[in-house]
């Protein structure tokens, strides 16, 4: 069990969401003050627990008896809200410890975000929390809201908004101001939150703790967050894993994608922003939907609420306007959905319903004829539902008063006849009573309704991507056979030690872990090099071996295509001479005599260490591809077989692997295997490894061969 584990103690987190008693230290009757707004909201919303305002200057606040000090309260306190000046906060927390308070919410700012002095103060908070097992939310946060229990430990104006039902969405934010903006806009778009947490500076509890806890609530169907940088990547991974197990989607808006964003993020909070590419890989790996815009969040929540999961990636599109249909088809394909042309029975049926100038392909264009024959929509929709090759349906439809009852009836009827996801996109202007009523009826029947047809496509894409991730996850969980490596004691020792390694040692380790390397031997004299060259077979390569010379070319320490005994002898001497000149201090182990490998495709497989997520595995096409195009894919270790396959498919130069210029396809199985072995190697034995590089790894029609390798220790 590692140090950070104790924090995911759900019994403690419980008190943030379901406190039986709440003390407000720094309470006030002034609504504009944080302590006042929270007190007021708790009362107004009908919080059923006990409220204890603490304020030495008042006898009662809003009709509730007030206590001068926390110690004076004649009750156990589950949660204490602290809203007093920064320099008093530590003292208040100590009082909480004395009172055996379980959870504290610190609104106050002026800590790590305000400079070194504040950071030191915050550090003392962290220590106090850990020593006394006191949970702290904040400081510098707007607080926490649990709408289903009317826990309003929050001073943002979101406490004044009317809740939206069903309340199924939990949200965590690293930015109080932006989080509340997201909250209020999403509420307006019909998203039902049940909990909202602003984590502030994360002196004690952090983003992932709340995400993980929210997942335990059976009423919570999905969770999301605004993230600038995770404190502990392992915790976030564990939360995401739990979410996959529970089939609850996680949506995260992660900022700091580019240079400017990252710069601002690190100044905005004290958090360590990991490299954005790693986050991107991590999200993909863990089935986390990465939100680019707020509209993606709201439309996904609405579409997901139907409880329907598409069984594949093909979308059927039906619209009354050809233009909207084409736009949706374009967007669908650019997002990676399939938009198969309708064939056979579906096509025949559609053509029998549509006017001759409608389109029965996909998108289906009902044309303006649907205005006079609104029952056409239901018929076409039925045909799409019946098509096994179509896994979800987007419907863009304008409603006019005379059509509205027919459309509502037909859409609901077809919707209830299938379990395929169907989304209706309809934009109403100049609404009439009949139209509004029809749309309300459709919504009440559970059909997801959005106003923007492109948002409908986006939400379906996220849903089907998520569904695919769920299937992969289930498949991976069902497999009992996982790849194992069994390195020798020497290898394990070599890996664990902090001593640097030469190429041949790194390759011995790879070989011991089941990764094929070139035929080679270390020679410590020219004569020995000749013997080995004969054994390996001419032509050979000679390469200097010294842990202090990781970049052999720089030292002119490589000779390729060496073809005879005489050449080997000469080359050996040259190389040793060059190396001594290059670095007289270097510990020279000898010269590696290596076969000249055949004509394979150059690949790079490696690992780096991310400050948040730990070992990250990289895959790329070698040579100019990686140099000119940075054409690589990443995953956080340990990677699954599915991840490894995705990594290979993800690179832009993928077609190179499939066979180009008359070459046969490469050995994908062998590539996947190398990725998995490298991942296993760093995950199980990599505590001392900073970086690992197999560059190049040659891949052939059959098999692979590591030509060069480098392991850098921490």
Select 647 or 676, whichever has its Cβ closest to a copy of itself: 647
Please give, one letter per residue, the 3-state secondary structure of 360-410: CCCCEECCCHHHHCCHHHHHHHHHHHHCCCCCEEEEECCCCCCCHHHHHHH
- Give the separation between CA 45 and CA 150, rounded to whole angstroms: 6
Residue 7 CB, nearest approach to a copy of itself (Å): 24
Query: Least Å distance between CB 56 and a copy of itself?
Result: 24
Nearest approach, Cβ of residue 555 and a copy of itself (Å): 16
Strands (E) in 243-335, as ranges, are: 250-254, 289-290, 315-319
Q: Does residue 344 bind a copy of itself (CB under 8 A)? A: no
Q: 204 and 125 in contact (C-beta within 8 Å)? A: yes
Instruction: Give bridge partners of residue 340 from the DSSP assignment.
Output: none
Burial 8-30 (b: 16+ CB within 10 A, else e): beeebbbbbbbbebbbbbbbbbe
* Alpha helices (runs of H) in 286-337, residue ranges in sequence order: 294-304, 322-334
Please identify which residue in 30, 188, 219, 413 interacts with a copy of itself, judged by CB under 8 A. 188
Does residue number 199 form part of the binding site for a copy of itself (CB under 8 A)?
A: no
Selected binder of a copy of itself within 1, 260, 478, 489 (CB under 8 A): 260
User: Considering beta carbons, is residue 499 or 660 the nearer one to a copy of itself?
Assistant: 660
Q: Smallest distance from the beta carbon of 559 to a copy of itself, in angstroms? A: 19
Site for a copy of itself in 598-657 (CB under 8 A): 624, 627-629, 652-653, 655-656
Which one of 256, 287, 487, 590 is in contact with a copy of itself (CB under 8 A)? 256
Beta carbon of residue 397, minimum distance to a copy of itself (angstroms, whole number): 11
- Strand 540-545's sheet: what is its strand order? 520-523, 590-595, 540-545, 558-562
Minimum Å gap between C-beta 68 and a copy of itself is: 28
Rounded to whole angstroms, the Cα distance separating 491 from 597 reads 25
Interface map 375-404 toward a copy of itself (x if CB under 8 A): -----------------------x------
Distance CA 15, CA 22 (A): 10
Q: Which residues pair with 618 in a beta bridge?
A: 606, 634
Q: How many alpha carbons fall within 13 Å on the CB side of residue 274? A: 26
Q: How many residues bind a copy of itself (CB under 8 A)?
A: 78
Query: Least distance in Å: CB of 265 to a copy of itself?
Result: 5
Q: Which is nearer to a copy of itself, 120 or 624 (CB)?
A: 624
Q: Are 382 and 418 in contact (CB under 8 A)?
A: no
> In 3D, which of 175, 193, 296, 219 has the Cα closest to residue 183?
193
Q: Decide whether 183 or 473 has the Cβ nearer to a copy of itself.
A: 183
Indicate which single residue of 60, 91, 219, 333 sits in contact with a copy of itself (rule: CB under 8 A).
333
The span from the CA of 325 to the CA of 393, in Å, is 12
Asked if residue 610 lies in contact with residue 616, where contact means CB atoms within 8 angstroms, the answer is yes
Residue 330 makes contact with a copy of itself by CB under 8 A: yes
State which of residues 35, 170, 176, 686 lies at the interface with a copy of itself (CB under 8 A).
176
Closer of 316 and 686 to a copy of itself (Cβ): 316
Judge contact between 579 and 598, C-beta under 8 A.
Answer: no
> CB of 462: closest distance to a copy of itself in angstroms?
17
With contact defined as beta carbons under 8 Å apart, do 390 and 340 qualify?
A: yes
The two beta strands, 632-636 and 614-621, are antiparallel
> Residue from 257, 347, 519, 589 that binds a copy of itself (CB under 8 A)?
257
| DSSP 3-state of 656 | helix
Q: Please, which residues have CB within 8 angstroms of residue 440's CB and are 6 or more apart in sequence?
A: none
233, 363, 590, 622: which one binds a copy of itself (CB under 8 A): 363
- Kindly identify the residues of this chain, within the stretch 411-470, that bind a copy of itself according to CB under 8 A: 427, 429-430, 454
* Cα distance between the two ends of the chain: 22
361 binds a copy of itself per the rule CB under 8 A: yes
Residues in 274-313 at the binding interface with a copy of itself, rule: CB under 8 A: 293
Of the ranges 277-285, 334-342, 476-484, 543-551, which one interacts with a copy of itself (CB under 8 A)? Answer: 334-342
Residue 261 contacts a copy of itself per CB under 8 A: yes
Question: Closer CB to a copy of itself, residue 118 or residue 448?
Answer: 118
Q: What would the DSSP string read from start to end of 123-144?
A: HHHHHHHHHHT-EEE-SS--EE
Could you say which of 80, 129, 318, 339 contacts a copy of itself (CB under 8 A)?
339
For residues 396 and 681, which CB has a smaller minimum distance to a copy of itself in the complex?
A: 396
Residue in 334, 416, 477, 488 binding a copy of itself, rule: CB under 8 A: 334
How crowded is residue 283: how many other Cβ atoms within 10 Å of its Cβ? 20
* Among the listed residues 161, 164, 476, 712, the single contact to a copy of itself using CB under 8 A: 161
In the bound state with a copy of itself, the residue whose beta carbon lies nearer, of 175 and 545, is 175
Footprint on residues 656-685 left by a copy of itself (CB under 8 A): 656, 660-661
Residues 90-129 that bind a copy of itself (CB under 8 A): 109-110, 113-115, 118
Is the Cβ of residue 104 or residue 367 nearer to a copy of itself in the bound state? 367
Return the axis-axis angle of helices 322-334 and 453-478, rounded to nearest 10°: 30
The only residue of 64, 368, 496, 688 in contact with a copy of itself, by rule CB under 8 A:
368
C-beta closer to a copy of itself: residue 41 or 689: 41
Name the minimum Å distance from CB 147 to a copy of itself: 17
Which of residues 239, 324, 536, 555 is near a copy of itself by CB under 8 A? 324
Looking only at the bridges linking them, the beta strands covering 222-227 and 169-173 are parallel
| Residues 542/591, Cβ–Cβ less than 8 Å | yes
DSSP per residue over 692-707, as a string? EEEEEEEE-SS-EEE-
The token pair that represents 257 in the structure block: 């994608």
Asked if residue 381 lies in contact with residue 317, where contact means CB atoms within 8 angstroms, the answer is: no
Over its C-alpha atoms, the chain yields an Rg (Å, rounded) of 31
- Minimum CB–partner distance for residue 287 and a copy of itself (Å): 22
From candidates 78, 206, 228, 296, binder to a copy of itself by CB under 8 A = 228
Min dist CB 191 to a copy of itself, Å, is 13
Burial (Cβ within 10 Å: 0-12, 13-18, ≥19) of residue 655: exposed
Minimum CB distance to a copy of itself smaller for 177 or for 246: 177
Query: Binder to a copy of itself among 146, 220, 321, 607 (CB under 8 A)?
Result: 321
**Interface positions, 500-559, toward a copy of itself (CB under 8 A):** none
Q: Does 245 bind a copy of itself (CB under 8 A)?
A: no
Q: Are 452 and 295 in contact (CB under 8 A)?
A: yes
Q: Please tell me whether residue 253 binds a copy of itself under the rule CB under 8 A.
A: yes
Please report whether residue 179 would count as binding a copy of itself according to CB under 8 A. Answer: yes
């Amino acid at each position: 069990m590692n140090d950070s584990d104790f924090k995911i103690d759900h019994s403690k987190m419980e008190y943030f969401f379901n406190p039986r008693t709440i003390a407000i230290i720094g309470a006030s009757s002034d609504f504009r003050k944080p302590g006042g707004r929270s007190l007021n909201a708790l009362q107004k919303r009908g919080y059923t627990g006990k409220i204890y305002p603490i304020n030495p200057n008042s006898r009662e606040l809003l009709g509730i008896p007030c206590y001068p000090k926390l110690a004076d309260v004649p009750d156990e306190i589950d949660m204490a809200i602290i809203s007093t000046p920064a320099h008093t906060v530590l003292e208040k927390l100590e009082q909480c410890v004395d009172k055996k308070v379980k959870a504290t919410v610190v609104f106050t700012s002026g800590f790590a975000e305000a400079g070194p002095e504040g950071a030191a103060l915050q550090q003392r908070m962290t220590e106090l929390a850990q020593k006394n097992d006191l949970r702290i939310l904040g400081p510098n946060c707007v607080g926490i809201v649990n709408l289903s229990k009317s826990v309003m430990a929050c001073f943002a104006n979101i406490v004044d908004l009317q809740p939206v039902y069903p309340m199924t969405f939990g949200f965590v934010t690293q930015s109080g101001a932006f989080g509340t903006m997201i909250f209020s806009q999403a509420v307006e778009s019909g998203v039902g939150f049940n909990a909202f947490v602003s984590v502030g500076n994360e002196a004690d509890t952090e983003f992932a703790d709340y995400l993980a806890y929210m997942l335990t609530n059976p009423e919570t169907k999905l969770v999301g967050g605004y993230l600038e940088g995770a404190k502990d990547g392992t915790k976030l991974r564990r939360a995401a894993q739990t979410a996959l197990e529970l089939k609850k989607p996680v949506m995260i808006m992660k900022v700091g994608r580019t240079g400017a964003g990252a710069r601002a993020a690190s100044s905005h909070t004290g958090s360590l922003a990991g490299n954005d590419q790693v986050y991107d890989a991590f999200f993909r790996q863990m089935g986390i939907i990465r939100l680019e815009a707020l509209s993606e969040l709201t439309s996904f929540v609405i579409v997901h609420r139907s409880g329907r999961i598409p069984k594949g990636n093909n979308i059927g599109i039906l619209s009354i306007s050809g233009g909207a249909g084409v736009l949706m088809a374009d967007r669908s394909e650019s997002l990676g959905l399939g938009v198969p042309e309708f064939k056979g029975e579906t096509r025949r049926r559609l053509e029998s319903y549509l006017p001759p100038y409608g389109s029965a392909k996909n998108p289906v264009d009902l044309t303006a004829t649907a205005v006079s024959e609104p029952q056409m929509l239901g018929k076409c929709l039925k045909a799409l539902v019946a098509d096994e090759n179509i896994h979800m349906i987007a419907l863009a439809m304008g409603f006019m008063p005379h059509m509205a009852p027919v459309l509502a009836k037909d859409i609901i009827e077809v919707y209830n006849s299938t379990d395929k996801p169907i989304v209706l996109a309809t934009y109403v202007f100049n609404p009439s009573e009949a139209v509004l009523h029809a749309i309300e009826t459709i919504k009440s029947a559970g059909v997801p309704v959005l106003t923007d047809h492109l948002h409908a496509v986006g939400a379906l894409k996220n849903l089907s991507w998520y569904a695919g991730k769920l299937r992969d996850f289930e498949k991976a969980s069902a497999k009992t056979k996982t790849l194992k490596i069994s390195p020798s004691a020497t290898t394990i020792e070599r890996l664990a030690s902090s001593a640097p390694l030469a190429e041949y040692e790194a390759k011995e380790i790879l070989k011991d872990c089941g990764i094929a390397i070139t035929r080679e031997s270390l020679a410590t004299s020219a004569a020995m090099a000749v013997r080995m060259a004969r054994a390996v077979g001419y032509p050979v390569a000679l390469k200097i071996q010294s842990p202090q010379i990781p970049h052999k070319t720089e030292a002119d320490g490589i000779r390729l295509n060496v073809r005879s005994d005489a050449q080997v002898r000469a080359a050996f001497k040259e190389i040793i001479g060059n190396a001594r000149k290059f670095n007289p201090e270097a510990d020279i182990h000898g010269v590696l005599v290596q076969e000249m490998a055949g004509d394979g495709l150059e690949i790079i497989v490696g690992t780096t260490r991310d400050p948040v997520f730990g070992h990250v595995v990289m895959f790329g096409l070698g040579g100019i591809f990686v140099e000119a195009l940075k054409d690589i894919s990443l995953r956080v270790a340990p990677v699954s077989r599915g991840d490894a396959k995705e990594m290979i498919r993800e690179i832009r130069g993928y077609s190179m692997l499939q066979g180009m210029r008359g070459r046969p396809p490469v050995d994908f199985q062998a590539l996947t295997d190398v990725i998995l072995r490298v991942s296993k190697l760093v995950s199980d034995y990599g505590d001392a490894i900073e970086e690992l590089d197999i560059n190049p790894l040659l891949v052939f029609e059959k098999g692979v061969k590591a030509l060069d390798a480098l392991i850098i220790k921490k």
